[in-house]
Amino acid sequence: DLFLGTGLGPRSYSIIEQGMISQIIEARPEDLRVYLEEAAGISKYKERRKETETRIRHTRENLDRLGDLREEITKQLAHLQRQAKQAEQYQALQEERKVKDAEWKALEYRGLDGQLQKLREGLSQEETKLQQLIAEQREAERQLETGRVGRESASDALNKAQGEVYQVGSTLARIEQQIQHQRELAERLQKARDEALNALNELGEHISGDETRLGVLRASVDEAEPQLAQLQEDDQYKQEALREAEAKLQDWQQRWETHSRESAEAARAGEVERTRVDYLDKQSLEADRRREVLTSERSGLDLEALASAFELAQQQHETQKASLDGLNTDLETRKQSVGALQEQQRGAQSELAEVRKNTQAARGRLSSLETLQHAALGQEQGAAVAWLKSRGLDSAARVGEKLSVESGWENAVEGALGQLIEGVLVDAPEALVDALGELGEGRIALVSSHDDGAAFASTSLAARVQGPVAIRRLLARLHVAEDLSEARRLLPQLAEGDSIITRQGERMGAGWVRVLRSGAAKQGALLRERDIQSLRVEIESLQKREAELDQLLTSFRDQLLAAEQQREDAQRALYIAHRGVSELAGQLQSQQGKVESARNRIDRIDGELLQLHETLDTSREQAREARSRLEDAIGRMGELETARQSLDSERRQLAEARDAARDAARSSRDTAHALALTLESQRTQIVSLSQALERMGSQRGQLDSRLGDLTSQLSSGDSPVESLENERQAALEQRVLADRALAEARAALEGIDNDLRGFEQVRHQRDEQSLTQREVISQRKLDQQALSLKADQLSSAVVNAGFVLDEVINSLPEVAALADWEQAVTAIDGRMRRLEPVNLAAIHEYGEASQRSEYLEAQNADLTSALDTLEEAIRKIDRETRGRFKDTFDRVNSGVQELYPRLFGGGHAYLELTGEDLLDTGVAIMARPPGKRVSNISLLSGGEKAMTAVALVFAIFQLNPAPFCLLDEVDAPLDEANVGRFTAMVREMSEKVQFLFVSHNKSTMEAAHQLSGVTMREPGVSRLVSVDLEEAARLAGAA
């Protein structure tokens, strides 16, 4: 789209070459129209019209599909609307039942809450009474204890009698409590038996009702099953009728498609034959004209004169080319010499870089080792160093620097010497003993530097060291061993005071062993000193090699400069020779091209004349056959039109039959489906009732069993009470005996005994009353707990249903009966069962379908509006295209009529339209060169064709100029006169447009302002040379 209408697109008229000129010459009217469209700027309109047509086609396809969807969704909406209405009623009943059920439970909760409130009040009163009894009992016990203090002097008989009274009283109280408990248990069993009997009666009533409903449902199912079978059979029959109707309509559709294809093929065949007749007539006319032009051109070609000029140019070229061989050999020799020197120079440079790199690395290692060595030998700043400096000994050698140790024994020597490795070598250490008193802190070792070359035992460490004799003497008492195992074997052979040392510095003496394996800073000083000396030698060798390589590179540079100068001289001479050969080659190629062009042109003319004779005969024969086929096609189209009307009538009848069969099948299917749903619901209810009857039968058996157990327990409940009564009677008798004994014992203590007996009676009474009161409170609490549990269950049920319990209770009337709410819930259940089965999803599905229907309607409106807009856009594009094309055609035609006489020095040319519709009409160019009659461009000579095409292109270019115009050897087929007029035209148009042209014609080159050429100074190396012709002409005039 960026280049549409600019002259720079795929049909560009701003890039003109011989191929484009040939295309314009040989172009059909429809193809020639494209150039005018590009100039008119309507090529972009064509692209937009094509896109718009595609969108219209897609829009109509979408409308068809949308229509089918709307029809289907409308059918679904009617069905879903009925189901949704039923589902809404069902949901409303569900909500109503939910509310009634919640009110029912809230009403029951309110009643339970009242009972609980009464129980709480009664329980509070009972607990208060119990506390009062306990207080009275405690008071009686306190008074009893006071009396017992006064009875300490009583006799043992009284205590014994009193104990018996207590024991009998306790037994009697226990028996009475057991009797009370057995009676309460009998009451609870009787209550549970009554409840089980009531539940059994209610369960029997439910079973009887469910059995009645089960019989009714089974009778209804038996009645509905034959009806369903009959409806299904009727539905199959109607579905078969529908399939037959659709098959007939499908068969008609296939026959209609076959007829449509035949009609289209007949119409297309007729149009093809009509076009072919027009084309063949026009082709015959053009062939006659072309044959006359070719015969005239054939007689004007002189092949012998062109061949003689070519032979002369070829001889001159061979002579000049022979001189190139020697120059090429010399240049190759110079290049090899330069290459060898460059290779040597690169090798020396690489070696120099490597030497410098190694030197730098060695210096870095040396610096690191020297720093470590200074630290290891104690040469860092400190009080000791200051003392040495004051004595002029700061630069004196250290022991570690002067020792030469046999390889492998360095660690042993360092381990043996210890701090002496840092020792300073002086001539006479004894002379400095007094001066050492000035050393405030730090450590210094002074060692004599004298070396007398004394020999020591070969087994001693001194034999493996060369250096100051004082150090060697110190090491002479150390014998060597490879390891500790060997040292242990040699230990018995040592003299007193001697010891053994291994390679690793491990020492062993009589009764002692020392092993030092830590990596301290002083360890490795001797090895480090040896590495330092080795690095100094290596650096000295590298520096020497660096100097040698510097001298060698200087020599290589001087030699390379001289060799490159010689190569440049040889290359310059070869370039001059090549330029001469190239110029001769250009002349030779030009002459050869002319000869080949003339020879090829004669061959093409002869071949084209022969082809024209054959074309004329073939065209006339094909035209006769095409007219015959056209008549046959017209007759066939008439027959097909009659058949089409018959098929159209048949289609309406079949469509009506199909629609009737479809309605009947749909009605039958819906009826059968509804009955099947009802039958399935009844079967489901039968299964549910059967399962419920089984469960209730099981529950009735359990209730019968429980009732029997409770009856059995009640019948056996009297025996424990009678036994306990007998025990109580026996205890009472014992109590009488104990009281009698106690009375006899209290005879001596009348006052105290009477008081104690009174207190004991009070305490005993309060104790029995407390026990009874506790049982009452316990029972009240159990009743309260049962009611609370039931109330909590009701409250949870209401809350789980989504209600607030207090709000529901407040909404209830003050006086309400549970039976009324139970009856209301039962009535709602009946209404819900009558609505079943219900599709609860129909509400959501209906809403979605409604939204989709609205969306499809909106889409249909949008697509219809878009289609109208697109069709209006097509009409607008067509109007603008016709207007622009007509205006451009008139202006280009005017330009051709103006430019053609200027290019030809006379004559006349114009454009004409081949059709009436400006949207698709072709364009033909008619020309009359000076002295010739008007003819089509294809019937002109080669030069006339080129000039006519150039006139057309320049006329288009004047109408809609591009930023630049590229001409690629457009002047090749022109003679000198035509070239002069062509260059004059280009020079005139260059005032407004920049021209870039490729040419071998000197006259054309002379018209340029700036000339650029490609030269080859040496084989395979091309170079661009630019010349400003105006500046060159000015310099030539000045010379």
State mean pLDDT over 828-842. 76
Note the pLDDT tens digit of each residue in 64-79. Answer: 888 888 888 888 788 7
Q: Does domain 15-56+881-1038 have CATH number 3.40.190.10?
A: no
Distances (CA, A) of 723 to 176, 178, 405, 719, 731: 12, 11, 121, 6, 12
How distant is the alpha carbon of residue 747 from its chain centre?
112
At 257, which amino acid appears?
E
The token duo for 322 is: 């022979």
How distant is the alpha carbon of residue 80 from its chain centre?
41
**Given this model, what pLDDT does residue 521 score?**
40
Helix (H) or strand (E) holding 512: strand 512-514
The region of weakest confidence among 157-171, 648-662, 879-893, 965-979 is 157-171
At 1023, which amino acid appears?
R
**Given this model, what pLDDT does residue 394 score?**
65
Nearest to 889, CA basis, from 29, 12, 6: 29
Confidence of residue 437 (pLDDT cuts 50, 70, 90): low
> DSSP assignment, residue 837?
S
Sign of CA dihedral 699, 704, 709, 711: positive
**Given this model, what pLDDT does residue 557 score?**
77
Q: Provide the mean pLDDT of the chain.
A: 76
Q: Are 404 and 360 in contact (CB under 8 A)?
A: no
**Given this model, what pLDDT does residue 702 score?**
76
What number of residues does the chain have? 1039
The token duo for 98 is: 């939910």
**Given this model, what pLDDT does residue 247 score?**
82
Using CA atoms, how far apart are residues 902 and 729, in angstroms rounded to an integer? Answer: 162
Pairing between strand 507-509 and 512-514? antiparallel
Question: 447 forms bridges with which residues in the sheet?
Answer: 425
> DSSP assignment, residue 931?
T
Helix (H) or strand (E) holding 301: none
Question: 935 forms bridges with which residues in the sheet?
Answer: 927
Note the pLDDT tens digit of each residue in 644-675. Answer: 778 778 777 877 887 787 778 777 777 776 77
State mean pLDDT over 184-193. 73
**Given this model, what pLDDT does residue 520 score?**
42
Compute the 3-state secondary structure of the chain and give helix, strand, coil in percent, each to the nearest 5: 80, 5, 15
At 939, which amino acid appears?
L
Q: Are 933 and 943 in contact (CB under 8 A)?
A: no
Using CA atoms, how far apart are residues 179 and 173, in angstroms rounded to an integer? Answer: 10
Give the rounded percent of residues in the chain with a pLDDT score beyond 90: 0
Note the pLDDT tens digit of each residue in 602-654. Answer: 777 887 778 778 777 787 787 788 778 777 878 777 777 788 778 778 777 87
State mean pLDDT over 952-960. 80
Residue 838 has pLDDT above 50, yes or no: yes
State mean pLDDT over 775-783. 79
Using CA atoms, how far apart are residues 1036 and 1039, in angstroms rounded to an integer? Answer: 5
Q: Are 739 and 165 in contact (CB under 8 A)?
A: yes
Question: 327 forms bridges with which residues in the sheet?
Answer: none
Nearest to 936, CA basis, from 428, 10, 286: 286
Burial 810-831 (b: 16+ CB within 10 A, else e): eeeeeeeeeeebeebbeebeee
Note the pLDDT tens digit of each residue in 87-131. Answer: 788 778 878 888 888 888 788 888 888 888 888 888 888 888 878
Number of H helices, E strands in the chain: 21, 16
Pairing between strand 964-968 and 935-936? unpaired
Angle at 481 between CA 476 and CA 483, to 5 degrees: 145
Residue 248 has pLDDT above 70, yes or no: yes
Using CA atoms, how far apart are residues 401 and 423, in angstroms rounded to an integer? Answer: 10
Question: What string of DSSP letters covers 49-98?
Answer: HHHHHHHHHHHHHHHHHHHHHHHHHHHHHHHHHHHHHHHHHHHHHHHHHH
Q: Are 242 and 661 in contact (CB under 8 A)?
A: yes
Nearest to 338, CA basis, from 575, 572, 571, 559: 559
The token duo for 976 is: 């000198």
Strand segments (E) across 838-922: 908-913
Interhelix angle 43-150/818-835, rounded to 10 degrees, is: 150
Angle at 442 between CA 436 and CA 443, to 5 degrees: 65
Angle at 932 between CA 930 and CA 935, to 5 degrees: 115
Confidence of residue 523 (pLDDT cuts 50, 70, 90): very low
Confidence of residue 374 (pLDDT cuts 50, 70, 90): low
**Given this model, what pLDDT does residue 368 score?**
66
Q: Are 937 and 948 in contact (CB under 8 A)?
A: yes
Question: 107 forms bridges with which residues in the sheet?
Answer: none
Using CA atoms, how far apart are residues 603 and 608, in angstroms rounded to an integer? Answer: 8
Question: 480 forms bridges with which residues in the sheet?
Answer: 501
Using CA atoms, how far apart are residues 203 and 71, in angstroms rounded to an integer? Answer: 57
Note the pLDDT tens digit of each residue in 566-581. Answer: 877 777 777 677 667 6
Question: What string of DSSP letters covers 88-112?
Answer: HHHHHHHHHHHHHHHHHHHHHHHHH
End-to-end CA distance of the chain: 54
What is the 3 state secondary structure string of 599-662?
A: HHHHHHHHHHHHHHHHHHHHHHHHHHHHHHHHHHHHHHHHHHHHHHHHHHHHHHHHHHHHHHHH
**Given this model, what pLDDT does residue 19 score?**
66
Q: What pTM does this model have?
A: 0.31
> DSSP assignment, residue 816?
-
Using CA atoms, how far apart are residues 624 and 277, in angstroms rounded to an integer? Answer: 8
At 417, which amino acid appears?
L
Which positions ≥6 away from 721 have C-beta within 8 Å? 179, 182, 183
Which positions ≥6 away from 844 have C-beta within 8 Å? none
Name the residue ranges covered by the structural domains of the chain.
Answer: 15-56+881-1038, 380-522
Note the pLDDT tens digit of each residue in 866-896. Answer: 888 888 888 888 888 888 888 888 988 898 8
Distances (CA, A) of 112 to 193, 198, 494: 23, 21, 114
Note the pLDDT tens digit of each residue in 303-340. Answer: 677 777 777 777 777 777 777 777 778 778 887 887 88
Using CA atoms, how far apart are residues 189 and 207, in angstroms rounded to an integer? Answer: 27
Question: What string of DSSP letters covers 667-690?
Answer: HHHHHHHHHHHHHHHHHHHHHHHH
Question: What string of DSSP letters covers 113-155?
Answer: HHHHHHHHHHHHHHHHHHHHHHHHHHHHHHHHHHHHHHTTTS-
Using CA atoms, how far apart are residues 378 and 442, in angstroms rounded to an integer? Answer: 10
**Given this model, what pLDDT does residue 373 score?**
59
Distances (CA, A) of 101 to 24, 104, 701, 796: 95, 5, 31, 13
Using CA atoms, how far apart are residues 334 and 568, in angstroms rounded to an integer? Answer: 9
Give the rounded percent of residues in the chain with a pLDDT score beyond 70: 85
Residue 522 has pLDDT above 50, yes or no: no
Which positions ≥6 away from 971 have C-beta within 8 Å? 979, 982, 983, 999, 1001, 1004
